[in-house]
Amino acid sequence: MDKTAIIPGDMQTYHDDWKMSPGLACGDFVFLTGFTGADPSGHMASDPEAQMRNAFGKVERVLTEAGLDFGAVVEMTSYHVGLREHLQLFKDVRSEFVRPPYPAWTAIEVSGFVHEDAIVEIRVIACRTK
């Protein structure tokens, strides 16, 4: 089966430095790497909502590069430092992006990420066919 890397221009360092694809199309599916809330310059905001919006923005850029939108998302896994503390805020921000039929979703509490100030990481799988 053919696999195609999905790499928005501002995410080339994921491919070059980390040796991973921001998204990987395989068959009818596009698998996205997990994205934290750092902005394009790598700065991690102290505001949880800003981090969440940045993470969803990265997901959106990869989906757009693949010719898709959030309506194509079939599964989402979110990883959280302080899950209970930020769950309602995350649900509120998430609701601005997902669309019916809503994707399957799992939220997992973790102890930390590579960037010590990150509080959330979002990973999705999207389907290219309706």
pLDDT digit of tens for each residue in the chain (130 aa)? 799 999 999 999 989 999 999 999 999 999 999 999 998 888 999 999 999 999 999 999 999 999 999 999 999 999 999 999 999 999 999 999 999 999 999 999 999 999 999 999 999 999 998 7
The interaxial angle of helices 48-65 and 83-95, nearest 10 deg, is 50
Question: Domain residues for 58?
Answer: 3-127
Omega before residue 48 within 30° of 0, cis: no
CB 23 within 8 A of CB 65: yes
Query: How many structural domains compose the chain?
Result: 1
pTM across the whole model: 0.95
Q: Which residue has the tokens 């066919």?
A: 129
Q: What is the CATH number of the domain that holds 48?
A: 3.30.1330.40
